[in-house]
């Protein structure tokens, strides 16, 4: 099954973008090749760009605190395992404290590294990091893989508190609701959303054997899914009935 996710607000959209970048970074850093380590460094710069919003850290901390208060409200409920509840609340508290201890925005400590910032200023230019533009960076790429990896781990460590908080918040959001099966009749599905609930994320799973690509749109009132087919280098609307799994996370 292929999983597609659609955020209902800008805050969750930013969380998903950061999660995507953190996962990419986690795959690139362990590599041995200088090219992978180049793109790992570029990914660090992209994370800094996405996290540059002044209120992002405050949003994440507010969400951590909100979840902690919700979970604490379950105490004394006989249907709740207290040991599991304690573990989740402790994790939320740890992430809150660690993120609160980071000065400024994500990656702010890296902005004081003039060498890194010289690379960042050229990284967005096509071939802007060639050896004749940045000879010191070119020399760094010729170091041993272990040496480059140690540098990347040290630089990315400044972003770890944000990464762990984003992972936790998205996990709690995804686990909050269960999937159910629906059918896109004639290639189209539409559903009104119940009032009184604030949905934040739509998750859609579909069998890749169907050869369909869902185009998702939504707001606080309704969601719509149009199934498309990729043929002759173009997307065409499908008119076939298609079954898929849908999860609306509130």
What would the pLDDT profile of 97-119 be if each residue is shown by its tens digit? 999 888 878 788 899 999 999 99
Its pTM stands at 0.91
Average pLDDT of the chain to the nearest whole number: 92
Distance of CA 167 to the CA centre of its chain: 8
Question: How large is the average pLDDT for residues 58-85?
Answer: 87
Report the distance separating Cα 243 and Cα 182, nearest Å. 6
Categorize the per-residue pLDDT at 134 as very low, low, confident or very high, splitting at 50, 70 and 90. very high
Check if the beta carbon of residue 8 is closer than 8 Å to that of residue 218. yes
Exposure string of 138-164, with b = 16+ CB inside 10 Å and e = fewer, is: eebbeeeeeebbebbeebbebbebbbb
Whether 54 shows a pLDDT value over 80: the answer reads no
Measured in Å, how far apart are the chain's first and last C-alpha atoms?
23
pLDDT of residue 41: 97
Question: How large is the average pLDDT for residues 180-196?
Answer: 91
């Amino acid at each position: 099954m292929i999983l597609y996710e659609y955020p209902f607000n800008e805050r969750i959209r930013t969380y998903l973008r950061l999660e995507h970048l953190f996962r990419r970074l986690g795959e690139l850093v362990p590599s041995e090749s200088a090219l992978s380590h180049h793109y790992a460094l570029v990914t660090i710069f992209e994370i800094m760009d996405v996290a540059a919003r002044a209120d992002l850290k405050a949003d994440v901390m507010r969400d951590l605190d909100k979840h902690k208060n919700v979970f604490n409200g379950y105490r004394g409920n006989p249907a709740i395992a207290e040991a599991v509840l304690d573990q989740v609340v402790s994790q939320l508290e740890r992430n809150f404290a660690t993120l609160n201890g980071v000065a400024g925005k994500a990656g702010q400590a890296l902005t004081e590294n003039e060498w890194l910032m010289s690379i960042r200023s050229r990284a967005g230019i096509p071939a802007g990091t060639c050896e004749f533009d940045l000879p010191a960076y070119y020399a760094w790429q010729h170091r041993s893989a272990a040496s480059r990896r140690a540098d990347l781990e040290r630089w990315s460590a400044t972003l770890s508190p944000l990464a762990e908080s984003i992972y936790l918040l998205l996990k709690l959001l995804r686990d909050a609701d269960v999937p159910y099966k629906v059918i896109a009749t004639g290639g189209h599905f539409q559903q009104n959303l119940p009032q009184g609930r604030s949905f934040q994320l739509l998750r859609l799973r579909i069998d890749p054997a169907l050869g369909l690509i869902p185009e998702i749109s939504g707001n606080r009132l309704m969601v719509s899914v149009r199934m498309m087919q990729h043929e002759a280098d173009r997307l065409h609307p499908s008119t076939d009935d298609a079954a898929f799994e849908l999860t609306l996370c509130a």
